[in-house]
Amino acid sequence: MSLHQTPCAGLVDDTYASAALRHSAEKFKIPADGQPARDVYELIHDELMLDGNARMNLATFCTTWDETEIRRLMDECISKNMIDKDEYPQTAEIEMRCVHMLADLWHSPESAVTMGCSTTGSSEAAMLGGLAMKWRWRKKMQQQGKNCDRPNLITGPVQICWHKFCRYWDIELREIPFAPGRYTSTPEEVIKRCDENTIGVVATLGTTFTLQYEPVRQIAQALDKLEAERKLDIPLHVDAASGGFLAPFLEPDLEWDFRLPRVRSINSSGHKFGLSPLGVGWILWRTKEDLSDDLIFYVNYLGGNMPTFALNFSRPGGQIIAQYYNFLRYGFEGYRKIQQSCREGARFFADRIRSTGIFELISGGGNGEVPGVCWKLRPNSKVPFTLYDLADRLRTRGWLVPAYSLPPNCENTVIQRILVRHGVSVDLLNRLADDLDDAIKYFNTHPTGKVSAKEGSAFHH
């Protein structure tokens, strides 16, 4: 087609007058012809505006703020496949450095040779940790000539990844239900459920529902006692998805990690309080014996043999590099300061929640909690709205502050929760608290939730 035949010749090359933006985008079939990159970019960019602003999503534990240098490194690594250890030996080397730094942070007895690897997040890490426990248990049972058909796993109120693990790998999940006012497991509840078919116990350092740390040390001691009394040697895995990057900096004396010999493996999310961009988690085992050799595949690597244990094959290398960047960039003191300011932000917001007089706090930036605030309506507060209404109202300002009911045994308790992450400043929290106050006033003055015509037309000049 010659230039003078171009349909929009008079409009030069304006994106919004282009063919791509003058029609709805194709949704069911790959279009027959391509379109200019800039037009298609704008088309998709504009549609993504409807996703809202990730930084105002206070539901997520994941990193939503990053430095320019992180973006540059991610960009430089966009085509590096971390599984190609032969081709990208430095990425492989950097992955191992991160494992060893975490091993040191989590007090591994032999941090320079600790077994571990990166994953896509804590969910994949949980699968690997769970599989290692299952393999270890099965070997032990086989050696004793016992039946291996009915493995079980004992947990407190766990994130869905552990439900998936049990379903996908045919394991009975013995999840300790909540009790009114008790939102974590206890050593007694764990021990009650243990038998010779128990492949392991999972304790969570920062539960997804209420942000509280489970009592890892007390559970470890109870399992030690069980072994001494009944000869049941049950490993403890710590799901430290959030806590693994918090407790070492904020509560260094809290014993939850490899200082406890009962703790055989730990997972954590690099992309949560590890401050890295989405797509990186970590799992470490205490000793070589805790990760059966059958689960490891060896790939040729610089003339040697590199062990790998993963569910995926191809995966981008940038997130691992970003994790290493963060370790060097912030150092121990930098992480401590960042996590401390998140905690202070949570305390600030908890005070604002308390001052409304209608909410009861479940957690609010205390010791043994992930920085965040979790609250419910006071039983006697007679308000013309639910927490679901409040969440909905806050959405009109762009905030995502979810309300949800608790799992079985407490399903009638509805709670609301925010996470205070890197990049959620006190100033931002102050605005959120003001918007929350406004939302409460709105419901108090509009009990039916309906806006009058006069109020509705206030926007028109």
- By rule CB under 6 A, what string of x and - marks binding of each residue 110-149 to ligand PLP? -----------xxx--------------------------
- Contact between 103 and ligand PLP per CB under 6 A: no
315 vs 393 by CB, closer to ligand PLP? 315
Q: Which secondary-structure segment (H or E) carries 162?
A: helix 160-168
Q: Which of 198, 204, 265, 413 binds ligand PLP (CB under 6 A)?
A: 204
Q: How far is the CB of 124 from ligand PLP (least distance, A)?
A: 7
Q: Which of 81, 111, 208, 386 binds ligand PLP (CB under 6 A)?
A: 208
Calculated CA dihedral for residues 76, 82, 87, 90, nearest 10 degrees: 70
- Contact between 241 and ligand PLP per CB under 6 A: yes
User: Which residues make Cβ contacts (< 8 Å) with residue 184, sequence separation at least 6?
Assistant: 156, 157, 204, 207, 210, 212, 213, 214, 215
Q: Which of 175, 189, 239, 369 binds ligand PLP (CB under 6 A)?
A: 239
The residue with its CB nearest to ligand PLP is 121
Q: Which of 18, 39, 43, 61 binds ligand PLP (CB under 6 A)?
A: 61
Q: How far is the CB of 225 from ligand PLP (least distance, A)?
A: 26
Count Cα neighbours of 203 within 13 Å in the Cβ-side half-sphere: 32
Calculated CA dihedral for residues 335, 341, 342, 346, nearest 10 degrees: 160
> Which of the ranges 5-13, 93-101, 237-245, 339-347 carries the binding residues for ligand PLP, by CB under 6 A?
237-245
Q: How far is the CB of 3 from ligand PLP (least distance, A)?
A: 51
C-beta separation of 156 from 388 below 8 A:
no
157 vs 377 by CB, closer to ligand PLP? 157
Rounded to whole angstroms, the Cα distance separating 213 from 56 reads 25
159 vs 416 by CB, closer to ligand PLP? 159
Q: How far is the CB of 236 from ligand PLP (least distance, A)?
A: 15
161 vs 362 by CB, closer to ligand PLP? 161
Q: How far is the CB of 68 from ligand PLP (least distance, A)?
A: 24
128 vs 436 by CB, closer to ligand PLP? 128
Q: Which of 184, 198, 210, 269 binds ligand PLP (CB under 6 A)?
A: 269
Per-residue H/E/C for 130-161: HHHHHHHHHHHHHHCCCCCCCCEEEECCCCHH
Rounded to whole angstroms, the Cα distance separating 165 from 207 reads 17
- Contact between 157 and ligand PLP per CB under 6 A: no
Angle between helices 122-143 and 160-168 (to 10 degrees): 40
Within 10 A of 17 (CB to CB), how many other CB atoms are there? 14
User: Which residues make Cβ contacts (< 8 Å) with residue 260, sequence separation at least 6?
Assistant: 216, 217, 220, 236
Burial track 193-226 (b if 16+ CB lie within 10 A, e otherwise):
bbebbbbbbbbbbbbbbbbbbbbbbebbebbbeb
Quickly tell me which residue has 């999310």 as its tokens. Answer: 269
Q: How far is the CB of 398 from ligand PLP (least distance, A)?
A: 22
- Within residues 270-309, the interface with ligand PLP by CB under 6 A covers 281
Quickly tell me which residue has 């250890």 as its tokens. Answer: 85
Residues that bind ligand PLP (CB under 6 A): 61, 121-123, 159, 161, 204, 208, 239, 241-242, 269, 281
